[in-house]
Amino acid sequence: MQTRKKYIFLTFLASWLLLFFFGGDQLRRLSFFSGRKAEARRNWPRWTDRSLLKNFADPEELQRDGDPSLLSPRERRAAWLSVYKSSRCRMETCFDFSRCERNGFKVFTYPRERDQPTSESYGKILASIERSRYYTPKPEEACLFILGIDTLDRDHLSAQYVRDVDEKIRGFPLWNGGRNHLIFNLYSGTWPNYTGDLGFDIGQAILAKASFDTESFRPGFDVSIPLFSKDHPQRGGERGWLYQDSVPPKKKYLLVFKGKRYLTGIGSGTRNALHHIHNGKDIISLTTCKHGKDWEKHKDTRCDKDNVDYEKFDYQELLHNSTFCIVPRGRRLGSFRFLEALQAACIPVLLSDGWELPFAEAIDWGKAAVVGSERLLLQIPSAVRCIHPEHVLAFQQQTQFLWDAYFSSVDKIVHTTLEIIKDRLSPHCSRSRFLWNTLPGGLLVLPDFSTHPGDFPFYYLQHGSSPSEKFTAFIRVVSQAGSLSQPILRLIQAVSGSQYCAQILVLWSCEKPPPPSGKWPQTTVPLTIIQGRRKPSDRFFPYTAIQTDAVLSLDEHTSLSTSEVDFAFAVWRSFPERIVGFPALSHFWDPEQGCWGY
């Protein structure tokens, strides 16, 4: 019994000694020194082998991950909730579909306040909406509402920042907590954190925002738009820079970047590391510290050399002569560089973690851009070198398509935003991603006509479909004589002799009625007379009498032979997505009348 007690006592004593040796520090802080918790936090971490392992980290750095100026996840969440109080909004919960059922998809813009200036960019957005087919001047007909207050720049340090927006919008009788409203924004937050704070409560409004982060983006409700400058064209815009004589796709440089380097604050981490991939040969990565008022106060040992190297290359020349362009985040997630690279057919290499890409709901960016990670910057050169030349060319072609279809003007950016929202109202008849990402694009393929690719000649070859084997000849007659002239008769005979002609339709747009059926020539194909409305647009109307995919549109004075008609149709069958034709009219100068004759 004595021996058993001795073993129990020794075991108990050994346990206490081990516990004291390995966990005594924690026990003292938890049990006996609870009043000194704040001091313990400041001294974290506390190593038991402090004499052997030196602590190289600043304790304050360990308390916050990354740049000390960055917000913690909890702080970012709190800032986000202050802006997006209706963070669970979806079209089904925060949008009144009944307003759209009455009059269709109509958009109303609030009257602009006289005492409140509007930026050039916001003026272009409003003008694009007011020129669109969806605009209505009557608010009772509207499905969607656009504020007259300029909400593009919500950086309170900006001269274009509009104050007291909350107070103003609450006074609008149509506001209704933001329901069925669309708010445009390009810049949010300010130095040093550049959060998504807009400075007012958007309520249940849809937010069309640049530099949207995935944490605050509400899928299926908000719309991510690109960041564009005030000089971005209102309509039309320049075409892309990729031409037929620029293939094969290999250019002088493989990968380039030229831009600002932030010495402190958010966005500085990625740009400060870009010099590591510069080799001075096929990879050019140039940064400059020379920006801002007090850049010299924060300059580091690399600044002077970087500034000298920066001036050795022209930015536009690099865009023209590079295959890939690095598009890192700036202070905010998006940058002007994104659209510049698209236009230049320089494949964007995106280094902006957490960025909801523009119109990603409709656009497949995996076919036009390389999405990288800021933490894996050093792997980017080897990754782009592995892309096959055929894929490089496909990427470049897709950048040109996306630029021309959706981004080359403010009109296209605004209309794409509206069309995406319109598609959400009727998901069963909305455009597929295939239609959005294939020529001619979602803005030209209207779901009101069809959502099936087989109904459009643009997609025949891609789906392995064969174009129509016959065509309909459509002849528009506007002669004031009201009789059949010799040119009309010769044209009908020439067209009817074509082996590909299925029928002839004559659009009679004269004041006098058409001749009786006995006056028309005998043809081997059906000849139908249609009474027109004497409008030039009549020839483009989808008449039910047309039974073929191909239509040969002709004027009464057109002079063509049967062989020329056959050749034109054979060419069209090879390119059914294109318009194929001949010079419009034969013309001559009449000296007696002193004018051109046709």
Q: Find the DSSP H helices in 378-517.
A: 380-385, 389-402, 410-425, 433-436, 486-496
pLDDT tens string 453-512: 877 877 877 777 778 899 999 998 887 666 678 888 899 999 999 999 999 999 988 878
Mean pLDDT for the stretch of residues 124-132 = 95
Answer yes or no: is pLDDT of 595 > 80. Answer: no
What is the β-pairing status of strands 595-597 and 588-590? antiparallel
pLDDT tens string 512-548: 888 888 888 889 999 998 887 777 788 888 888 998 8
Comparing C-alpha atoms, which of 174, 185, 178 is closest to residue 216? 185
Name the pTM for this structure: 0.74
Q: Could you tell me how far CA 511 lies from the centroid of its own chain? A: 49
- The model's confidence at residue 102, banded by pLDDT at 50, 70 and 90, is confident
What distances in angstroms separate CA 16 from CA 24, 37, 47, 168, 198, one per listed residue? 10, 24, 21, 70, 59
pLDDT tens string 210-230: 999 999 999 999 999 999 999
How many Cα atoms are found within 13 Å in the side-chain-facing hemisphere of 19? 8
Answer yes or no: is pLDDT of 61 > 50. Answer: no
Domains of the chain, earliest start first: 81-224 (no CATH), 252-331+365-405 (no CATH), 431-463 (no CATH), 471-590 (3.90.550.10)
Tokens 């087919």 map to which residue?
Answer: 133
pLDDT for 97 equals: 94
The partner residues of 256 in beta bridges, in order of sequence, read: 284, 325
CA-to-CA distance for 444 and 236, rounded, in angstroms? 14
Answer yes or no: is pLDDT of 41 > 50. Answer: no
pLDDT tens string 546-594: 988 899 999 888 888 999 999 999 998 888 878 887 765 566 677 887 7
Return phi, psi of residue 394, to 5°. -65, -40
The identity of residue 576, as a single letter, is: P
pLDDT for 544 equals: 87
CA-to-CA distance for 387 and 453, rounded, in angstroms? 30
E-assigned strand segments in 17-167 = 107-109, 144-146, 153-154
Residues near 114 by beta carbon (within 8 Å), at least 6 away in sequence: none
